[in-house]
Amino acid sequence: MTTETLKPASQAPRLRMPSAASTNRVRFPGILRSEAIKLRSLRSTVWSYAVLVLISLGLAALMAATLASSIEGQVPAEAQTAIVMQVSSFPVALGQLVAAVLGVLFIAGEYGTGMIRSTLSSVPRRLPVLWAKSLVLFATTFLVGLVSTVGAYLIGSPLLAASDVAAPLTDPDVLRAVVGGALYLALIAVFALGVGTVVRSSAGGIAVVLGIILILPTVLQLIPADWAANMIPYLLSDAGLGGLGIESGTPGGLEPWQQLLVVLGWVVASLSAGAILMKRRDA
């Protein structure tokens, strides 16, 4: 054993933590803050949210302009509300793809880079991480979703007003489209988070989620059987978009609250599967 040359005192490692160790416990608010830092400190998430808002505003403007130019004569009040609803929430149909990708990446990105090992070493009970991620993702996506749908309403309304089509934001149906659209985006993101936890791969997770949102409805429509047609209203995207005034006249005829329950069911299923596997598997 050789003797070690000690570093000068000024350079000696300062190892002691100034604050008392007993206050530095793992607590849920801390885990929430940690996940919030993670979400906002990646360029990919910031860009995805920006894209979500921008395509919403762009699509709303495009759709409102197209509708306004095709309208001739006086539109009945009820139809006016329906048009405003569509303009406000139509961007959600595209925005859900961005929310889905975001949800998958929020966890699969950690598995892909190895970050998950740092995360689970600092929170070895593991599940609080998944709950914190869900809450942070839900809240952020809901807020950004609200900016998108309210923004879509604000951009679309003046264009539609030129053709004498108008409905106030406070109209219950318009409010449902605006708030419901944001809620749906947030729930899709959390659903995708659950899938990403199960699959642990960005590419695989995105494929599964987009398959469920985009391909499953088409496949069921192609099957010439009653059971297939009966299942369509219970699909994630059909139930989610059905209440927003986009998919008009769904055959199953679910009430909006039932549609919300269907979406929640999908979210609970994917998060539960993710939680069970996250707890059980080696990281």
Binding site for another protein (CB under 8 A): 1-2, 4-7, 12-19, 21-27, 30-31, 33-35, 37-38, 41-44, 109-110, 113-125, 282-283
Smallest gap from residue 277 Cβ to another protein (A): 13
Nearer to another protein, 41 or 218 (CB): 41
Nearer to another protein, 128 or 204 (CB): 128
Nearer to another protein, 128 or 252 (CB): 128
Smallest gap from residue 94 Cβ to another protein (A): 24
CA distance 90 to 152: 9
Smallest gap from residue 8 Cβ to another protein (A): 11
Nearest to 242 by CA among 250, 230, 234: 250
Nearer to another protein, 107 or 159 (CB): 107
Nearer to another protein, 69 or 117 (CB): 117
- Residues 6 or more apart whose CB falls under 8 angstroms from that of 174 comprise 81, 84, 85, 88, 153, 167, 168
CB 140 within 8 A of CB 41: no
Residue the block writes with tokens 């106030």: 168
Smallest gap from residue 172 Cβ to another protein (A): 40
CB burial readout 149-162, b (16+ within 10 A) else e: bbbbbebbbebbee
C-alpha dihedral sign at 258, 260, 266, 267: negative
Backbone φ and ψ of 123, nearest 5°: -130, 75
Nearer to another protein, 264 or 277 (CB): 277
10-to-5, 6, 16, 19, 82 alpha-carbon distances in Å: 14, 11, 15, 21, 71
